[in-house]
Amino acid sequence: TWLEILGILETQHAHATFFPSGMRVEQFPHAAQRTVSQGHSVGSHGWDHSRLTPLAPEAVEAQLVGDLKAWRGLGVRSLSLLRPPYGDYDEKVLKVAESLGFSDLVLWDVDPRDWATRDARLVRERVLSVVKPGSIVELHVTRSTAQALPKILAGTRGKRLEPVSLTALLVESERPA
């Protein structure tokens, strides 16, 4: 499904940001490498999708370092983006992330809960009913997401919104007005 989503993004000339766990990067190295080669941004989601806040600082570090090592194995030298599993973070997580070179903690404002449904129409409607300029849409590598994606892209473009990677969005937001 990851490769299918990459194919849709390529066909639609759209870019995104992917946050697979380090385990998934190692499990699907071809998809991870293709993600990078197609020009999508990538970031850390920890090694195995564990909630980070209950962990000791050393365990948080192990989660993030494991993910970094998985990406380094594919030639990605550094990651600046961190999307903590469940959007759960605290001061400890921020300090550990900063010490490892992460400069941007990323959350989202559009959550269609695509992981909880097999209904592509519902996923599409949940995104398009609330997406606005600057929105960060959280999507997962699921069958319903892959099925919904072409219409999500068409719908956002119909609203004159261009899907971009978080790296592009962050660069744009830092430009002086």
Please list the pLDDT of the chain residue by residue as tens digits (177 residues).
999 999 999 999 999 999 999 999 999 999 999 999 999 999 999 999 999 999 999 999 999 999 999 999 999 998 999 999 999 999 999 999 999 999 999 999 999 999 999 999 999 999 999 999 999 999 999 999 999 999 999 999 999 999 999 988 887 666 565
Please classify residue 117 by burial: count the beta carbons closer than 10 Å to its beta carbon, then call 0-12 exposed, 13-18 middle and 19+ buried: middle
Residue 25: what pLDDT? 98
Per the CB < 8 A criterion, the answer to whether 111 and 140 are in contact is: no
Cβ contacts of residue 30 below 8 Å, gap of 6+?
3
Residue 176: what pLDDT? 61
Residue 87: what pLDDT? 96
Residue 167: what pLDDT? 87
Residue 174: what pLDDT? 61
